[in-house]
């Protein structure tokens, strides 16, 4: 499974691609941070983010896009920019039929470090360790994007197996109900 993790932001938007799966440790494919100048209006900054996300989708061809779920912060202006950047990334993926999943910051931190309250340094250190890197990706937005991708590789694989099992059980139950209905109909 190849996952593009996006740590959305209007000034800095982290992008990280990780590949991994069942019985395979995650490996780094690419990581970067898109920066947009604060002197540009918001619409032009979002166009720059969209262009970068489109380029990454074309270049790295992810199976899934994992985006940090935006939550309310005290600074409304910051949360708006973050939500807008997330929306642009989600739209770009949806246009291509690429599934989009959202993970909360605490969910990602718990998956990567074991604690939903881990700090940025702890996340960076664990991303470095998990991906066997020489040093933590900088800035922290890059490490956060990789953490999102790793989280989804780990949790997504399990979720896919659970969903597959639930679908198989539902199909089996449907077949049993149909067989029972056919038996009842024959007896009439």
Active-site annotation holder among 32, 54, 121, 141: 141
Examine the residue annotation and report whether 164 is marked as an active-site residue of this protein. no
68 is in an annotated binding site: yes
Active-site annotation holder among 41, 50, 55, 68: 68
Q: Where are the beta strands (DSSP E) in 63-181?
A: 64-68, 100-103
Query: How many whole angstroms separate alpha carbon 54 and alpha carbon 66?
Result: 15
164 is in an annotated binding site: no
**Token pair belonging to 168:** 């198989």
- Collapsing DSSP to helix, strand or coil, 13 comes out as strand
7 is in an annotated binding site: yes
Q: Give which of 137, 165, 161 is closest to 149, Cα–Cα.
A: 137
Host H or E run for residue 6? strand 2-7
Q: Residue 26 CB: number of other CB atoms within 10 A?
A: 22
Examine the residue annotation and report whether 141 is marked as an active-site residue of this protein. yes
Which residues are annotated binding-site positions for Mg(2+)?
7, 68, 141
Which residues are annotated binding-site positions?
7, 68, 141
Catalytically active residues are: 7, 68, 141
């Amino acid at each position: 499974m190849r996952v593009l993790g996006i740590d959305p932001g209007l000034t800095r938007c982290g992008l990280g691609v990780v590949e991994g799966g069942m019985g395979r440790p995650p490996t780094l494919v690419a990581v970067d941070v898109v920066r947009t100048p604060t002197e540009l209006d918001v619409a032009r900054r979002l166009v720059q983010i969209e262009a970068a996300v489109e380029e990454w989708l074309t270049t790295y061809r992810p199976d899934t896009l994992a985006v940090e779920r935006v939550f309310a912060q005290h600074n409304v202006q910051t949360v708006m920019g973050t939500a807008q950047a997330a929306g642009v990334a989600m739209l770009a993926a949806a246009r291509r039929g690429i599934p989009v999943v959202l993970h909360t910051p605490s969910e990602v931190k718990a998956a990567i470090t074991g604690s939903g309250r881990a700090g940025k340094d702890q996340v960076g250190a664990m991303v470095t360790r998990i991906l066997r890197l020489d040093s933590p990706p900088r800035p922290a937005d890059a490490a956060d994007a990789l953490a999102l991708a790793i989280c989804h590789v780990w949790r997504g694989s399990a979720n896919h197996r659970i969903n597959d099992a639930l679908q198989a059980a539902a199909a089996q139950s449907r077949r049993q109900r149909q067989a029972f209905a056919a038996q009842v109909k024959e007896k009439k």
